[in-house]
Amino acid sequence: MAHTFIKRSDRRKLSQGRAARRGSLRGRELERTVTEHLERMKNSKQITDYIAHQPNSKEDHEGRDFTVRFGEGECAQEHSFGVTISLRKFHRTQGPQNQVKQFCFPIGTNRETIIKRILGLRVQN
């Protein structure tokens, strides 16, 4: 039986590719979960409205996965934020150059934590 030899660097690339695909799927799952929470928050009047920005859109590339609106009229506030499951990506996006708030919600983050952080975006006047 002949064995095909695969270089170590090629095996590493294959493994990294599989890990990136898994991370992407988990990230999309997190975005769906956050969307469900935002819809519930809208229905219970905790927020006025929200936008879930499309993957690979201009907003997505700027780190804005979602935009939420609090209040109506002149008192209305809009805040955009991004979400990730990756602590490494979260730390990369922190700093004064990034104007968009980022949240890290690792797998298993409970609903109350997600809602509390989103509501924390609201600026009290």
| Domain range summary for the chain, segments of one domain joined by + | 8-119
pLDDT over 70 for what percent of the chain? 91
pLDDT (average), residues 98-115: 90
Q: With a cut of 70, say whether residue 13 has pLDDT above it.
A: yes
What band does 51 get if pLDDT is binned at 50, 70 and 90? very high
CB atoms within 10 A of CB 70: 18
pLDDT of residue 65: 93
Residues whose CB falls within 8 Å of the CB of residue 54, separated by 6 or more in sequence, listed in order: 60
Q: What is the mean pLDDT of residues 66-72?
A: 94
pLDDT at 97: 60
Task: Grade residue 86 by pLDDT with cuts at 50, 70 and 90.
Answer: confident
**Hey, CA dihedral for 88, 94, 97, 100, is it positive or negative?**
positive
State the pTM of this model.
Answer: 0.78
